[in-house]
């Protein structure tokens, strides 16, 4: 079937994996990648598919309503996968307004432009879909009731040896929203607007809330690529607080696979949680990263341990995120395909093999920004 799909934020980390998957898997779809190319957007993430005949890149700001109207109409868009956002919690603490502008007003502009276009067509919302990508952070923070870890109630074919839960509670699709950071507050607000467009105007929407992603092409302000790069340059590894916070990690290509499944088979107006069934304390994951980088660089074991530097905690730092994604597993048959140990090995190798990609980003202005960001820690 021919379709015209708009993917926003396609030059970012997760978006680039989604664009790649759709361009390669669906030659009959026209994939329009809309991205403002902020500091986080990088067309080098899509070099391998940029010349495909079913792919178009458009530079635009989702908060520009007239531009959204023009683009959606010009390309006769019938499906939207919305990933464009400001995504880094530390930046949101320093500059909340940019987050409200892009994540809230930008999402609203996109919704409004899609509504106007789709309502102008004879078939209206039939065959249309607005899929909004959100985060588990909207649910707030869980308690770390079992710091040593208990047996996880979830298993998947890819469950790894390290398979613990650090508390008995998990985020469900029905968990009440309770965001704490300006980032998660802005994402929560955008999720509400998406649902409001369904409930008020009948727009066929879907929302998914995913846990922490890792993998190739992630901007090196996020924990895993930042630490890989710092180890390579023998720079300190800034561990916030005691390093006890827990995150649930998912390989980015598995998230892209979930997005594909949900875009095509998910039920309108539903929410699906997407998670890795894979909780780690920060300090434990940091030790795995150090060990893997040292081994692949040929350093003796323990060589980079001394780079670990405990720094002032992130303001309002959420203690634990843990997703129960059994609804998606049960209803649509999705689960992670990769064991964490395989995923982290692939990821570290990728960053070490693609040092030019990293060096391009971390030189010049970014270096100045990074030093400023971390100078007061």
Catalytic residues: 136-137, 183
Bridge pairing between strands 237-240 and 308-311: parallel
- Please, is 312 exposed, middle or buried when counting C-beta atoms within 10 Å of its C-beta (0-12, 13-18, 19+)? exposed
Phi, then psi, of 250 in degrees rounded to 5: -130, 135
CB nearer ligand NAD, residue 125 or residue 343 = 343
Pick one of ligand DAU, ligand NAD, none as the site partner of residue 83 (Cβ within 5 to 8 A by kind).
Answer: ligand NAD
CB nearer ligand NAD, residue 212 or residue 278 = 212
- Please, is 296 exposed, middle or buried when counting C-beta atoms within 10 Å of its C-beta (0-12, 13-18, 19+)? middle
The interface mask with ligand NAD, positions 198-237, x = CB under 6 A, is ------------x-xx-----x------------------
- Pick from 139, 240, 263, 357 the residue near ligand DAU by CB under 6 A: 240
The answer to whether 92 and 181 are in contact (CB under 8 A) is yes
Rule CB under 6 A: say whether 207 interacts with ligand DAU: no
Cα distance between residue 193 and residue 108, in whole Å? 7
CB nearer ligand DAU, residue 206 or residue 228 = 228
CA distances (Å), origin 101, targets 91, 112, 341: 14, 15, 38
The interface mask with ligand NAD, positions 159-188, x = CB under 6 A, is ----------------------------x-
Supply the minimum distance, in Å, between the C-beta of residue 82 and ligand NAD: 7
H-state helical runs in 203-339: 223-232, 252-265, 282-297, 326-332
Pick one of ligand NAD, ligand DAU, none as the site partner of residue 106 (Cβ within 5 to 8 A by kind).
Answer: ligand NAD
Supply the minimum distance, in Å, between the C-beta of residue 212 and ligand DAU: 4
The answer to whether 377 and 312 are in contact (CB under 8 A) is yes
370 contacts: CB under 8 Å, gap ≥ 6: 221, 362
The interface mask with ligand DAU, positions 209-228, x = CB under 6 A, is --xx---------xx--x--
Pick one of ligand NAD, ligand DAU, none as the site partner of residue 125 (Cβ within 5 to 8 A by kind).
Answer: none
Pick one of ligand DAU, ligand NAD, none as the site partner of residue 61 (Cβ within 5 to 8 A by kind).
Answer: ligand NAD
Rule CB under 6 A: say whether 273 interacts with ligand NAD: no
Supply the minimum distance, in Å, between the C-beta of residue 135 and ligand NAD: 4
Closest C-alpha among 224, 319, 329 to residue 277: 329
Cα distance between residue 22 and residue 364, in whole Å? 33
The answer to whether 163 and 152 are in contact (CB under 8 A) is yes
Supply the minimum distance, in Å, between the C-beta of residue 354 and ligand NAD: 16
Rule CB under 6 A: say whether 286 interacts with ligand NAD: no
Rule CB under 6 A: say whether 103 interacts with ligand DAU: no
CA distances (Å), origin 248, targets 37, 71, 85, 150, 225: 28, 36, 21, 15, 16
> Nearest residue to ligand DAU, using CB?
135
- Residue 245: both structure tokens together: 């916070």
Rule CB under 6 A: say whether 89 interacts with ligand NAD: no
Binding-site size for ligand NAD (CB under 6 A) equals 30
Site of interaction with ligand DAU (CB under 6 A): 87-89, 135-137, 211-212, 222-223, 226, 238-240, 245, 247, 282, 314, 321
């Amino acid at each position: 079937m021919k379709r015209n799909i708009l993917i926003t934020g396609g030059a970012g980390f997760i978006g680039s994996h989604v664009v790649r998957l759709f361009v390669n898997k669906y030659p009959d779809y026209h994939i329009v990648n809309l991205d403002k190319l902020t500091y986080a957007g990088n067309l080098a993430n899509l070099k391998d598919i940029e010349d495909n005949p079913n792919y178009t890149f458009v530079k635009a700001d989702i908060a520009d309503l007239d531009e959204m109207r023009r683009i959606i109409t010009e390309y006769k868009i019938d499906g939207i996968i919305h990933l464009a956002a400001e995504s880094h919690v530390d930046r949101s603490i320093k500059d909340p307004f940019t987050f409200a502008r892009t994540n809230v007003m930008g999402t609203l502009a996109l919704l409004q432009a899609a509504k106007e276009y789709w309502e102008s067509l004879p078939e209206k919302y039939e065959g249309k879909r607005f899929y909004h990508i959100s985060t588990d952070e909207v649910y707030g923070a869980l308690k770390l009731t079992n710091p040593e870890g208990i047996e996880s109630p979830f298993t998947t074919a890819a469950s790894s040896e390290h398979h613990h839960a650090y508390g008995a509670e998990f985020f469900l699709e029905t968990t009440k929203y309770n965001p704490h950071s300006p980032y998660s507050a802005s994402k929560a607000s955008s999720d509400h607007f998406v649902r409001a467009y369904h409930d008020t105007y009948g727009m066929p929407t879907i929302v998914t809330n995913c846990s922490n992603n890792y993998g190739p092409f992630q901007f090196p302000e996020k924990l895993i690529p930042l630490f890989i790069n710092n180890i390579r340059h023998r720079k300190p590894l800034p561990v916030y607080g005691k390093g006890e916070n827990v995150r649930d990690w998912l390989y980015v290509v598995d998230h892209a696979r979930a997005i594909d499944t949900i875009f095509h088979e998910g039920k309108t107006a539903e929410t699906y949680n997407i998670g890795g069934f894979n909780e780690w304390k920060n300090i434990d994951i940091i030790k795995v990263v150090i060990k893997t980088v040292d081994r692949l660089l040929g350093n003796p074991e323990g060589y980079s341990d001394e780079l670990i530097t405990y720094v002032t905690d992130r303001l309002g730092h959420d203690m634990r995120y843990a997703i129960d994604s059994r609804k998606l597993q049960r209803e649509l048959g999705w689960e992670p395909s990769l064991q964490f140990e395989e995923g982290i090995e692939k990821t570290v190798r990728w960053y070490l093999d693609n040092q030019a990609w990293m060096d391009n980003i971390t030189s010049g202005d970014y270096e100045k920004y990074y030093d400023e960001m971390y100078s007061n820690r």
